Amino acid sequence: MGKPNLYFEHPETRHKVLVYEGFSFVGFIFTFIWCINKQLYKHLIIYILIYLSGFFIGNLIYFPIFFYSIYIGSNGNKIYQNHLMKHGYVVVNKVI
């Protein structure tokens, strides 16, 4: 797990979120649950489509799922930061 990087806060609801930097092992290992928890539904749909395509392709599905999990693990925190900013969150504090 990466180290804490930024605090985001929603100006209306005052909801605070801590976002980490670096590789997300939780995002890599539990991609499906991590996407639901972070409300990253676009990436969740992509993950499900890759998984469901395995029924038509066969055992080759493990490679795309594995590589997509690596993608989420390595870029997931940046994706989550962008998701928060799109939904009105602002950076309150940078954690040192």
pLDDT at 61: 64
Instruction: Count the domains in the chain.
Output: 1
Residue at 20 is within a domain: no
The answer to the question of residue 42 being in a domain is yes
Residues in the chain: 96
Domain assignment of residue 6, yes or no: no
Per run of 10 residues, the mean pLDDT along the chain (length 96 residues) is 79 90 92 95 94 75 86 94 93 76
Enumerate the H helices of the chain as residue ranges. 25-29, 31-37, 41-57, 62-86
Q: 89, 10 in Cβ contact below 8 A?
A: yes
Return the DSSP state at 78. H
86 assigned to some structural domain: yes
Residue at 40 is within a domain: yes
Q: Per the domain annotation, does 21 fall within a domain?
A: no
Residue 6 β-bridge partners:
19, 94
- Please give the Cα distance from 96 to 19 (Å, whole number): 13
Q: The domain containing residue 43 runs over which residues?
A: 28-94
Is the residue at 87 inside a domain? yes
Alpha carbon 23 to its chain's center:
11
